[in-house]
């Protein structure tokens, strides 16, 4: 343990004198095992650690998250992967431990956004997980511990400059948290809420059946929301986030962003994409970018020309009709919102991305038409009464 960690600079290079410490002089609960974290690294690491710690405590499964700019690009628990997901996540034919499976799912949610991520893992990092991290472009990792061989694998990343943090899993922060903004102190009670049985009781739609899998996915989405910059909405399926809409000023833009990301996630499972034959020597990030361009409806001729150079055999692009037909197979998606839905347009957009289970705070003057819209689509909606803004 150490009392202070110094950094080269803060959020930006011109912001000097950056350091982290505990005000009362106690040792920090984090120890750098390789390279020194930056200011932004620590913002990601400490938010991400809380997310995976809570997922593990709630669901009893190893958990992982892929963080970028103080919001999760993906988060997941260790639900086994089928062959299609393994191929889409570039982990086919790899031996994955439960922890590695959780990270493969977290990274696979939005591989474009996860480029250069900060990773948080709920359990001691094993060789299978370290070997998976080794091949991804990532800035650093935080976990409660590392197997010796796994640590040696990670220390070799980025020419030895890969940032590795170990956190004391027993550390508990004070009940009151403080921050300073513009020279002014702000203070509040720490947000220690976690979903309990009461959180799921107020089902307001005609549909009342909440299967265990949907409840699990709502927990994943809700805990991810706690550490996503607001306004935010998360879509989850099979124990992982498949779309996150973070930091939007209007609720419907959160839903549109999260749903479009979920659509892209599901379109990546289309056989035409899984069968793509990339040019020899094409690196993993280049393949991911090529797939993203392939899926864009508004790609320019120049972009498409550059895109074609990534393939040995240029695949025929999916038409709008083919995309819609494929997306119509997406079912059983769970959506959690960090505040209430003010209008039914949120529900209308969500249903096009396979959403069947909705959780929101409720309490809007528009609750009645929003519930009616959910009933119209045969969805189940819970009004939890709990808002989860995070800034």
Q: What is the pLDDT along the chain (391 residues), one digit of tens a residue?
A: 677 888 888 999 899 888 888 888 788 999 999 998 999 999 999 999 999 999 999 999 999 999 999 999 999 999 999 999 999 999 999 999 999 999 999 999 999 999 999 999 999 999 999 999 999 999 999 999 999 999 999 999 999 999 999 999 999 999 999 999 999 999 999 999 999 999 999 999 999 999 999 999 999 999 999 999 999 999 999 999 999 999 999 999 999 999 999 999 999 999 999 999 999 989 989 999 999 988 988 888 888 888 888 888 888 889 999 999 999 999 999 999 999 999 999 999 999 999 999 999 999 998 999 999 999 999 999 999 999 999 9
Quickly count: other Cβ atoms within 10 Å of residue 55's Cβ. 27
Dig out the tokens for 48 from the structure.
Answer: 């991400």
b/e sequence 171-199, b meaning 16+ C-beta within 10 Å: eeeeeeeeeeeeeeeeeeeeeeeebeeeb
- Catalytic (active site) residue 261: no
CB 138 within 8 A of CB 157: yes
Domain residue spans of the chain? 4-167, 193-266+327-383, 275-317
Which pLDDT belongs to residue 1?
62
Q: What is the reported pLDDT for 303? A: 82
First to last CA, the chain: 28
Among 34, 47, 231, 346, the active-site one is 231
Tell how far CA 260 is from the center of its chain.
Answer: 15
**CATH architecture observed for domain 4-167:** 3-Layer(aba) Sandwich (3.40)
Q: What is the dihedral of CA 196, 193, 387, 346, to 10 degrees?
A: -50
Is 47 one of the annotated active-site residues of the chain? no
The verdict on whether 391 is a catalytic residue reads yes
Same fold, 4-167 and 193-266+327-383: yes
Active site residue 157: no
- Please state which architecture CATH assigns to domain 275-317: Orthogonal Bundle (1.10)
| Contact present, 108 and 86 (Cβ < 8 Å) | no
Which class does domain 193-266+327-383 fall in? alpha beta
Residue of 34, 41, 56, 68 marked active site = 68
Among 69, 155, 253, 287, which one carries the catalytic annotation? 69
Query: Could you tell me the two tokens for 232?
Result: 């935010």
CA separation for the pair 163, 300 (Å, rounded):
38
């Amino acid at each position: 343990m150490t009392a202070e960690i110094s950094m080269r600079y803060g959020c930006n290079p011109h912001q000097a004198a950056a350091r982290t410490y505990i005000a009362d002089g106690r040792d920090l609960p984090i120890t750098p095992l390789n390279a020194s974290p930056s200011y932004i690294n620590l913002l990601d690491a400490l938010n991400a650690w809380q997310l995976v710690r809570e997922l593990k405590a709630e669901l009893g499964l190893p958990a992982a998250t892929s963080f970028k700019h103080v919001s999760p690009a993906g988060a997941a628990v260790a639900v086994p992967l089928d062959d299609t997901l393994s191929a889409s996540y570039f982990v086919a034919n790899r031996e994955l431990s439960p922890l590695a499976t959780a990270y493969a799912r977290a990274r696979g949610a939005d591989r474009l956004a996860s480029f250069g991520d900060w990773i948080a893992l709920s359990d001691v990092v094993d060789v299978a997980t370290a070997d998976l991290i080794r091949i991804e472009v990532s800035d650093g990792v935080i976990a409660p511990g590392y197997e010796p061989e796994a640590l040696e694998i990670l220390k070799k990343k980025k020419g030895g400059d890969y940032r590795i943090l170990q956190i004391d899993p027993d550390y508990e922060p004070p009940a009151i948290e403080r921050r300073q903004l513009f020279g002014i102190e702000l203070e509040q009670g720490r947000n220690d809420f976690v979903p309990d049985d009461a959180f799921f009781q107020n089902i307001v739609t005609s549909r009342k059946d909440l299967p265990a899998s949907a409840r699990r996915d709502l927990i994943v989405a809700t805990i991810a929301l706690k550490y996503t910059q607001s306004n935010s909405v998360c879509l989850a399926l099979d124990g992982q986030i498949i779309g996150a809409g973070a930091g939007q000023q209007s609720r419907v833009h959160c839903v549109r962003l999260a749903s479009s990301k979920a659509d892209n996630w599901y379109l990546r499972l289309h056989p035409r994409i899984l069968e793509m034959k990339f040019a020899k020597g094409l690196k993993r990030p280049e393949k991911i970018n090529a797939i993203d361009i392939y899926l864009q409806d508004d790609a320019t001729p120049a972009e498409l020309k550059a895109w074609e150079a990534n393939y040995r055999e240029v695949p025929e692009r999916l038409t709008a009709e083919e995309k819609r037909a494929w997306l119509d197979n997406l079912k059983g998606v769970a959506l959690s919102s960090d505040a209430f839905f003010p209008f039914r347009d949120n529900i209308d957009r969500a249903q096009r991305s396979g959403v069947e289970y909705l959780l929101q705070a409720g309490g809007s003057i528009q609750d009645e038409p929003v519930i009616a819209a959910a009933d119209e689509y045969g969805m189940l909606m819970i009004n939890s009464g709990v808002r989860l803004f995070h800034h």
